[in-house]
């Protein structure tokens, strides 16, 4: 079970494109003015049957609208990649 405030996302594919999925997550967060931390608890590239991402979202930066200057807001936040 995921910790409170954490979204658990599972990914499974014969093509093992978990890095692409991670890029989609980061791009969506940036577009919507969110800062997301990503931990990858399981990964097919490490021999696991699936990839499991634990996503945590930081509070929004005051004055930043979704999709407007989100890159600067994302750059100011912490990003944890595992």
pLDDT computed for residue 58 by the predictor: 85
For the stretch 30-63, pLDDT in tens is 999 999 999 999 999 999 999 999 999 987 666 6
pTM over 0.75: no
* E runs forming strands in the chain: 6-11, 35-42, 51-58
pLDDT computed for residue 66 by the predictor: 53
């Amino acid at each position: 079970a995921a910790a409170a405030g954490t979204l658990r996302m599972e990914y499974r594919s014969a093509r093992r494109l978990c890095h692409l999925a991670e890029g989609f997550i980061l791009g969506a967060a940036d577009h919507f003015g969110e800062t997301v931390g990503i931990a990858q608890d399981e990964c097919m590239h490490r021999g696991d049957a699936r990839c499991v991402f634990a996503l945590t979202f930081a509070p929004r930066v005051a004055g930043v609208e979704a999709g407007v200057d989100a890159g600067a807001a994302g750059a100011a936040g912490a990003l944890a990649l595992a």
